[in-house]
Structure 1
């Protein structure tokens, strides 16, 4: 999906424009456009769910050997749990990701340089909204299912809550409607590990 010049209002305030979404698809969309399954990837995942993809120009140097093999290849494909002989499967790189969708490494229209620390906060609700833009772009009114592991599961639940008329089935894996205190502490430790890396430079490490 190419860049959309229409600003996306963000839940936490402000807006983001232009927006570019990098996505992949598997299987065939039927005539009634009723067999689509949308997968939200986990935090460190990408849009590359199944198969082998050696090249993604939109991701540049971030598309390395670690991501060229589909992260859910055992579950998505012909005859597998999410059967691409039956379903048209979609997955897009979440906003803020580094695999082709608009994120901190993208050029800010205000400066022409990477957003870095100036990239706005994007909520799970914003990710769900972006998913509707992709579905509209493809002419899909209602999904057969929305699926996701971890943060992708939370995004799936949020999508179904915010847009119940656009999905029939929810499959949320290793996720829930809210995080526990322990989970928040673990995430806080991960954040500190990144922020204390001198090369992180407060988020402005692209120069």
Structure 2
């Protein structure tokens, strides 16, 4: 770890903290504001991977994971209207999803490093985002995993409703996850622009140094 990696670590920490806060605020029926900040974590990881390599990128991921664990612990100590703001299942789902998805992102990006500039960040983010969504919503809300925290009633998430209000009938948590996934895919495409700009700027600084 060098001083050059500190901006990436700070950026990841800010994204994780902001997402943990903003996930408490609803945006419409299917999303929270955190859905729009969390995908930036993939941008941070990919920039670090392109500029410094997979090793430093993984260190940034671990730093983000540690910050996330701290945020989850703090959330378990804060009582809301229906109990702790963060339950054990939410904390477990969040940590497992982040770590698995981000490390997968690093591995996929590195394997595609030699291709067109956009292929590695796009493919790694799309796959990582999909894995992140699948792990988080399944672990946090699936009725099949109630044994993880029997005292936490998540039966509300299993209510059968049309997908996003218009599609086939599915559990509510599937609609929530699907909406979150669509946002991540959209932002993965948009993030190619800042990825290109930030990487070009960082590499030009490296050459100048």
TM-score, normalised via structure 2 length: 0.33
Q: Which has the higher helix share?
A: 2
TM-score, normalised via structure 1 length: 0.33
